[in-house]
A and B are shown apart, each in its own frame.
Chain A
Amino acid sequence: MARFRKHDEFSDLEARLRGRRAEAPSSFVRQLAARASAERRSFRPRTRLVLAGALISGALAASASAGVIGLADGSATHFFRIVRKLTAPTPKLTAASKKKTVATLKFDDNKPADKQYANQCGPTAPYQRCTIEVDPDAPKITATPTSGTQDVDFVLTIKPDKVTPVAPVTIQCTTEDGNDKNASKNATAPEDYNTETETVTIPAGETTEPMDFPGLINADTTGETGDESFFLSCTSPDNSADIDKDDQVVTITIHNEPGPPPKPAPPV
């Protein structure tokens, strides 16, 4: 028996049902296929950290301020949505364009399906992307010049304002030594700072969460001068926020100032 022989009696009806079949518009197919192929070749969640760190003067000071941990262009989480939702072209994440402004989703308030997502962000479409910003007014760190340690504290904030995540967003930051060619500019553990990993979760519905590294900086006791830097390398271990490996770093610069001249040895 032929596989569909028993449906022969419905041949006319089947013809009508096949007549309802709609073909995808060619332009849509080409666009989606091109984007899918591009993503297949280089699919990586994309987030970047724009550093705006400030160097703090003082006997021993550092600033962990600054930066925007942001999804650079949305082409990972909302890659395909961009076809219809974005008015601006999707910036390519290449060396020449890493500084481009983060593209934003354009929601049509007249469409109920868009309106309900306008003030929400999440790891998947159709929400806006969760952009995370380090508090630009991060506390300035001043340490005693010869002893003790110094905390590094800052606040992670969901941006833009009034956008809340629909799911928890987890960020993990780990210390890394500096990597400047001039070794004297690199802060290293454990002499200059203590190796640490901190994980924070911004709960669904919340927009801020502090990130604290207590006692991270060690005061210099060797008479070093000049600036030394090290990093906080940040990831999202559960992919609740997508962070690009190459652009996930907070730079912390330690400014050493010469200490008081050594006291002359007491006469023997």
Chain B
Amino acid sequence: MPRDPLANPEPLIRRVYSYVAYRIGHGAEAEDVTSDVFERALRGRATYDPGRGSPIAWLLGIARRCVSEAVASRLETVAEPPDVADTTSVEERSVARLTLAAAIAELDEREQDLLALRYGADLTARRIGEVLGLQTNAVEVALHRALAQLRELLEASEARPAGPGERPESLSSERL
């Protein structure tokens, strides 16, 4: 094996977990899926080719398959967004998360994956390209489109008036 991709596992585990949690929610299931990723990686690490990408790109390729299997095996995904320190009230933050999570869920699978790789796994466009087998500029274009569509969904949600007694679907005070 020319290079062991799991030589320093902790930062890899953190990043893979963040990606998985971004896709299926923070919690026990994300831990299970992350564990599966490393189990498969451990068994298949002899197949890792440094010439085809970094260890994290290789692991996230495995993680994408594991997430797809996890999503397919359950009836519904219950996302549990993480706590984020900000100055808004608990209620406002809760609604904001619902809004953002709901809007992301409206995107197609590929765009959700792209956002998870960028903002969950915190990959650069070049690294995302390694995972998806795309050129860097193609990743940037796709990311731009995903962001534009996401903002459009959020703005449309804000413009929609809430009915009497209806739970707010968006947070109008939250600016993009």
Where the two chains meet, the residues of A that have a C-beta atom closer than 8 Å to any C-beta of B are 3-4, 6-7, 10, 12-14, 16-25, 28-30, 32-33, 36-37, 39-40, 43, 78-81, 83-84, 112-113, 124-126
Which A residues touch B100, using CB under 8 A?
16-17, 20
Interface of A is mostly: helix
Interchain CB contact (< 8 A) of A6 among B101, B115, B122, B140: B140
B14 to chain A, nearest CB (A): 5
Neighbouring B residues of A84 by C-beta, 8 Å: 28, 31-32, 35
> Is B14 a contact partner of A24 (Cβ separation < 8 A)?
yes
Interface, chain B (partner A; CB < 8 A): 4, 6-7, 9-10, 13-14, 17-18, 21-22, 26, 28, 30-32, 34-36, 38-40, 42-43, 73-74, 81-82, 84, 86, 96-97, 100-101, 115, 118-120, 122, 124-125, 136, 140, 143-144, 147-148, 150-151, 154, 174-176
Contact A36 B42 (CB under 8 A): yes
Q: Using CB atoms, name the residue of chain B closest to A40.
A: B6
Question: At the interface, is chain B mostly helix, strand, loop or mixed?
Answer: helix
Given A25-B31, A78-B39, 7 more pairs with CB closer than 8 A: A10-B144, A20-B100, A21-B21, A21-B22, A23-B82, A83-B35, A84-B28
Asked if A22 and B18 sit within 8 Å, CB to CB, the answer is yes
Q: Which residues of B contact A13 (CB under 8 A)?
A: 147, 150-151, 154, 176
Identify the interface centre among A22, A78, A84: most chain B CB within 10 Å of its CB.
Answer: A22
Chain B residue with Cβ nearest A19: B84
Chain B residues whose C-beta falls within 8 Å of the C-beta of A24 in the assembled complex: 13-14, 17-18, 21, 30-31, 34
